[in-house]
Structure 1
Amino acid sequence: MTTPFRADRLQHINCFSEMCMGEAHDARLFNTNLRLAKQWGSKLLKLLTFSDFRCKKLLFKTKMSLLGKKTLCVITGASRGIGKAITLKLVSHLGPKSHVILIARDQKALESVKVEALSKATDVSVSVLPLDLSNVSKELYHTALNGAIEKTCTVRFDLALLIQNAATVGPVDLRALQLRNVDLVRDYFDLNVTSFIIFNNVFFALCDEHFAKERMAVNISSGASYASLPSLHLYSAGKAARDAFYRCFAAEETGIRVLNFNPGPVTTDMQMEIYEKTHSTEIKEWSKDGMDNSTFATCEAVAEKFVDCLERNDFESGAFRTVDNHTLVFRFED
């Protein structure tokens, strides 16, 4: 069923489209129609035809950067790899009086990341929260996160940013048909999917619209979500589930920016684990070649691309965005 769309709104959108195509030049009218068009952005995108590509492009490009704001940023899996690199790159791009909460199981490693992060941004505070996300509990997550947030002593932030990076690769030594251990499969999805959903919802219950002017959720995704890769069965399924959840989340919560960010193949401890344990000769050779020949990205390069993505802020909420700024968008067409 087609949702009715008010004529006055359509008029503003048509005016905006004309201006983007170079048919109108009144700056004040342009800004008025741009503001209203952005307000109704989701419906605008459905109404615009492919010939209005420049209009779409301008609409996304006019979004403000997500950097430089007073931000509460929570990063899971922050003790090493991509999570650590994002922390160290992002911290210097946050606004004064921002606060970063680092989450992982290894407190010693978190403390080391904290020290390094503080050396890069003296006007930002950093705290560590040792937390085992595999112990899925709404009450545990709420108590731990609320305690960490209360220590910031800030009544309201410009941006509440959740970066969900924590993940495991799963039993890559087994073939898909060998996954008969119920506890193994259940535990994998508890850590990589169930905890992802529950922690997301606890975060946004604590960081509501009164807590921050803007809110954003990021899932560090993977191309494995949409590829057929032997031995990466649970990993691919878990990443695909997280992506799908965030697409639905973005569709429902239009006031929250949502991003599925794909870093691509990266040289990390997880990549080494894949190489050492995979049962697949094909994957082992691919992994070895990528690490040996430096065709896989470094964590630092990924972090730089991620920060650039937040700076550009030109993605559609819920989109799957790659480090090369390519976007995969899922949408039903009439």
Structure 2
Amino acid sequence: MPPSSDLGRALCIITGASRGFGRAVARDLSRLVQPGSVLVLAARSGDELRALQAELTDSEAGRAGLKVQVAVADVGRTEGLEAIIRSSAEAFSENIDRVILINNAASLGDVSRFTRSFTDMAEVDSYLSLNVSSSLCLTARVLQAFPGRGGLRHTVVNVTSLCALQPFRSWVLYCTGKAAREMMFRVLAEEEPELRVLNYSPGPLDTEMQQEARSRTADPDVKIAFSDMKTRGQLLTCEESCAKLMKVLLEDGFSSGAHIDVYDV
């Protein structure tokens, strides 16, 4: 089948939308959904979210008929998830035919230390709460809040990484979180075949997180590898990678639960 020209009249929920890849996703989705669609932008930074909201609702940008909601929320806390669902429910209408959830919010964790130094359970639990538990609980809440009915489709995207598949020395928290999240969404795809579930790996992006990786990684070989990518111009822009994600979503030919890397598109 030829790819669709748009993503329908959709409710799009994007976590980590205030900057980086999440911000690029919000911009691209705003151009690919039909009038009457809703974008729910979630992040901790209210000022950045509201600036993006203003940009996306500017009628001169050709996005008339798009409603943009801001949910200032820490997804690592229950009240943050409740705020996202509340904003989504307030904007939802019976004319919407698709729910798209982009689980993008994530943190790198402390990459300045090796595995044997992580003796504090509270520290590890805090990381996993933000990077694993929040994605599971938000996804479950979205599916419960907007259950399948005639014509309503669901697409769930997990922004993953090569680190879900391959170990990186001194990146134990990040690799563990990404691996757990990926398996979580593979299980969801098996349990609910009517959903469209995608694990999308955006590749090495030129973001603040990448800068943190280059400056703080404890393992010298990993640190040099990331620094060399920057020096050689091998990092991708968020916009380049996001365009590949939109292509995958429009073509809709992936196997539900699949891991698709930016370089495979």
The TM-score normalised by the length of structure 2 is 0.94
SS of equivalent to 2:243:
helix
Q: Is the 8 A contact 2:73 2:84 kept in 1?
A: no
1:298 matches 2:237: yes
Unaligned runs of 5+ in 1: 1-61, 327-334
Alignment partner of 1:243 out of 182, 191, 203: 182
1:1-334 equivalences under 5 Å are 62=1, 65=4, 67-119=6-58, 120=61, 121-135=63-77, 137=78, 140=79, 143-152=82-91, 154-210=93-149, 213-325=152-264
Q: Residue type of the partner of 1:224?
A: C
Q: Residue type of the partner of 1:125?
A: K
Structure 1 or 2, whichever has the larger Rg, is: 1
SS of equivalent to 1:229:
coil
Unaligned runs of 5+ in 2: none
Structure 2 CA distance for aligned equivalents of residues 201 and 304 of structure 1:
27
SS of equivalent to 1:88:
helix
Structure 2 CA distance for aligned equivalents of residues 175 and 86 of structure 1:
33
Q: Deviations over 1:166-204 (max 9, x none)?
A: 000111011111111111111010110011111110011
Cα deviation, residue 67, structure 1 = 2.8
Q: Is the 8 A contact 1:261 1:321 kept in 2?
A: yes
Structure 1 CA distance for aligned equivalents of residues 126 and 9 of structure 2:
37
Q: Is the 8 A contact 1:219 1:261 kept in 2?
A: yes
Cα deviation, residue 142, structure 1 = 5.9
Change (3 A) 1:212 1:280: farther
RMSD of aligned alpha carbons: 1.7
The TM-score normalised by the length of structure 1 is 0.75
Structure 1 CA distance for aligned equivalents of residues 169 and 118 of structure 2:
13
Moved more, 253-262 or 209-218: 209-218
Change (3 A) 1:70 1:286: same
Change (3 A) 1:143 1:280: closer
Q: Deviations over 1:232-291 (max 9, x none)?
A: 111011001010010010000111100000111111111111111111111221111112
Report the number of matched residues: 262
Structure 2 CA distance for aligned equivalents of residues 168 and 211 of structure 1:
37
Q: Is the 8 A contact 1:102 1:127 kept in 2?
A: yes
Cα deviation, residue 66, structure 1 = 8.2
Change (3 A) 1:142 1:284: closer
Q: Is the 8 A contact 2:74 2:80 kept in 1?
A: no
Moved more, 69-78 or 110-119: 110-119
Cα deviation, residue 210, structure 1 = 2.8
Structure 1 CA distance for aligned equivalents of residues 187 and 178 of structure 2:
14
Structure 2 CA distance for aligned equivalents of residues 323 and 224 of structure 1:
14
SS of equivalent to 1:95:
coil
Structure 1 CA distance for aligned equivalents of residues 40 and 246 of structure 2:
17
Structure 2 CA distance for aligned equivalents of residues 149 and 91 of structure 1:
16
